[in-house]
Amino acid sequence: MVSQARKSELLFSGSDWDFNKLSRVYDEIEAIGLEELRLDIYPVQMEVISSEQMLDAYSSVGMPLMYRHWSFGKHFLYNELLYRKGARGLAYELVINSNPCIVYLMEENTMALQALVTAHAALGHNHFFKNNHLFRQWTDAGGILSYLDFAKSYIARCEERHGLAAVEAILDSAHALMEQGVFRYHRPPKLSSEQQREGLRERLEYEERSYNDLWRTLPPSQDSGNTETSEDDGAAERKKSLNLPEENLLYFLEKNSLVLEPWQREIVRIVRVIAQYFYPQRQTQVMNEGCATFVHYTLMNMLFDRGRINEGAMLEILRNHSNVVFQPAYDDPRFSGINPYALGLDMMQDIQRISTEPTAEDRDWFPDIAGRGDWRDNLLDAWANHRDESFIRQYLSPTLIRKWRLFVLADGADEPHYEVASIHNERGYRKIRSALARSYDVGASRPDIQVIDVDLLGDRHLRLQHMVKDGIMLDGESRDATLRHIRNLWGYDVSLAAIDAGTGAMLSERWTKEL
């Protein structure tokens, strides 16, 4: 029996919620998060939505404002069917990387669950969005909502002016290239015309200083390869003027296609901007979810220790928390890979342990943070400066490798058996950590396809190149479909050559005129 004095200190009792309770819980959670965990967050805008609205958000890639496209309706019907049949649940919340940070809460949630997801999204995800270097580098949290509003209204006007079918054709082709429509690395700023002239002047002065008059006495070359050299120089100059090779296919098509009208270029640009906006999220799933899970688990325990939530609410919170971080075994029918919530939380709690109670092994592996004491600084630094691949490569400890029972299997295509290549010893730990980190490297796992050449004054044949790693070729059906979409945006012949990344040998070449 909870005493009357204890009840008066509680933020809420019972499962029912109202907006006053939500506001009171958020204020308490925010105060503890900012003071105890030293979080730095955007202002928060919380909205309560129904299950149908959550399904609608699912279909439009989680954005509150989105243009119309038939694929969104298809996703809505698919997710709705699974939800109605009980084959799939819905997220308890949805959070948008924007300023203010928008958090959607399900109206079906109990009050305890609303408190949990508020800490998870409004504090954990919010802090990560605002402070991680990838999000700071690639996204504009303050401008994304206004840009989506512009995109939605612009595409609606295009549908009215040019017809639904014409707009959908461009969107279909642009959506097919979204995975290849991002910049993986920042480019240096373009030189101004004055800087270009200054660079040319410096090069001419250098050539004059280094000129040797003895070269004038040599007879003119009769080499028949002069024509070939001239052609090579012309190709090199052409590639330089187009900034080739180019990894961002949507960007290249938007800037250089000779058949796209201005409104079509703008639609391609809209899809490209949205693809770039989501690029950091693909690289930080373990860190992002791990940060949010660590924050909600820590804050909920602090609330309970301070007597702000009762035992019943805490039991419900722990049950939902356990569901989120559940990791099925490899032989469990539910196994689909490593749960990013579980791995992220374990690694962050491990950093906390290493900072305060390190073992001798921890001191050898992590001399910079072991025994440092202030685990908050270590976590804040990791959240700000890493992505999944670098985070695992730097912070996955032998203790956690043993807990997860990780090892490396070597699978040779020409070998009849698997080989256990790395086990739990000093060398094995490093290989296991490196192998797991590589599996989270988006750049390594995504097909490396680039525009390598095109003669805009000639046949305008667009040449693409796929660097094949480990003999993994593209699926033929999806490859051909994507080439047709590129042909639709380019307007002329397109070819894709598969080149072995190790030897440089050409493995295959596919032309759109063959499709």
Average pLDDT score over residue span 237-260: 88
DSSP state at residue 191:
P
| CB atoms inside a 10 Å sphere around CB 468 | 21
Q: State whether residue 112 is helix, strand or coil.
A: helix
Local confidence band at 342 (pLDDT 50, 70, 90 cut-offs): very high
Residue found by looking up tokens 């049950």 in the block: 319
Q: State whether residue 13 is helix, strand or coil.
A: coil
* pLDDT > 50? residue 2: no
Q: What is the pLDDT of residue 244?
A: 83
Which of 102-106, 199-203, 357-361, 443-447 is most confident?
A: 357-361
Residue found by looking up tokens 């699978």 in the block: 411
Q: pLDDT digits over 272-320, tens only?
A: 998 998 899 889 999 999 999 999 999 999 999 999 999 999 999 999 9
Local confidence band at 510 (pLDDT 50, 70, 90 cut-offs): confident
In this structure, what token pair is assigned to residue 245? 């090779």
Q: What is the pLDDT of residue 326?
A: 94
Q: What is the pLDDT of residue 79?
A: 57
Q: pLDDT digits over 114-151, tens only?
A: 999 999 999 999 999 999 999 998 888 888 888 888 88
* pLDDT > 70? residue 219: no
Q: For residues 137 and 146, what is the distance between their CA atoms, to the nearest angstrom?
A: 19
In this structure, what token pair is assigned to residue 84? 């109605």
Lowest model confidence (mean pLDDT) among 1-5, 37-41, 158-162, 251-255: 1-5
* pLDDT > 80? residue 83: no
Q: Is 188 left (phi over 0), alpha (psi -120 to 50) or beta?
A: beta
Lowest model confidence (mean pLDDT) among 165-169, 235-239, 328-332: 235-239
User: For residue 246, what are the β-bridge partners?
Assistant: 451
| Residues ≥6 apart with Cβ < 8 Å to 282 | 442
- How many Cα neighbours within 13 Å face the side chain of 449? 25
In this structure, what token pair is assigned to residue 279? 């690029």
- How do the residues of the chain divide into helix, strand and coil, expressed in percent and rounded to 5? 60, 10, 30
Q: What is the pLDDT of residue 144?
A: 86
Average pLDDT score over residue span 415-441: 84
Q: For residues 148 and 274, what is the distance between their CA atoms, to the nearest angstrom?
A: 9
Q: For residues 112 and 311, what is the distance between their CA atoms, to the nearest angstrom?
A: 11
Average pLDDT score over residue span 176-201: 67
Q: State whether residue 509 is helix, strand or coil.
A: strand
Q: What is the pLDDT of residue 198?
A: 61
Local confidence band at 470 (pLDDT 50, 70, 90 cut-offs): confident
Q: What is the pLDDT of residue 424?
A: 80
Local confidence band at 465 (pLDDT 50, 70, 90 cut-offs): very high
Average pLDDT score over residue span 481-492: 92
Residue 259 backbone phi and psi in degrees, to 5: -110, -15
Question: Is residue 65 a contact partner of residue 149, using CB atoms and an 8 Å limit?
Answer: yes
Q: For residues 73 and 58, what is the distance between their CA atoms, to the nearest angstrom?
A: 10
Express as a percent the part of the chain with pLDDT over 90.
50
Local confidence band at 7 (pLDDT 50, 70, 90 cut-offs): very low
Q: For residues 199 and 143, what is the distance between their CA atoms, to the nearest angstrom?
A: 36
In this structure, what token pair is assigned to residue 173? 């082709």
Lowest model confidence (mean pLDDT) among 4-13, 92-101, 476-485: 4-13
pTM: 0.84
What type of residue sits at position 478? S
Q: State whether residue 468 is helix, strand or coil.
A: strand
Distances (CA, A) of 513 to 259, 483, 484, 493: 18, 10, 9, 7
Q: Which helix (H) or strand (E) holds 389?
A: helix 388-395
Q: What is the pLDDT of residue 511?
A: 85
Distances (CA, A) of 80 to 67, 70, 424, 432: 20, 16, 45, 40
Q: What is the pLDDT of residue 220?
A: 54
Q: What is the pLDDT of residue 299?
A: 96
Q: For residues 265 and 144, what is the distance between their CA atoms, to the nearest angstrom?
A: 19
Average pLDDT score over residue span 444-465: 88
Distances (CA, A) of 424 to 172, 250, 327, 361, 492: 48, 45, 21, 13, 55
Average pLDDT score over residue span 62-78: 61
Q: What is the DSSP string of 403-464?
A: HHT--EEE--TT-SS-EEEE-SSHHHHHHHHHHHHHHT-HHHHS-EEEEEE--TTTT--EEE
Q: What is the pLDDT of residue 6?
A: 43
Average pLDDT score over residue span 406-432: 79
In this structure, what token pair is assigned to residue 132? 């991680």
Local confidence band at 1 (pLDDT 50, 70, 90 cut-offs): very low
Question: Is residue 44 a contact partner of residue 126, using CB atoms and an 8 Å limit?
Answer: yes
Average pLDDT score over residue span 335-360: 94
Q: What is the pLDDT of residue 437?
A: 94
Counting DSSP H helices and E strands in the chain, the numbers are: 23, 9
Q: Quote the Cα angle for 345-346-349, to 5°.
A: 85
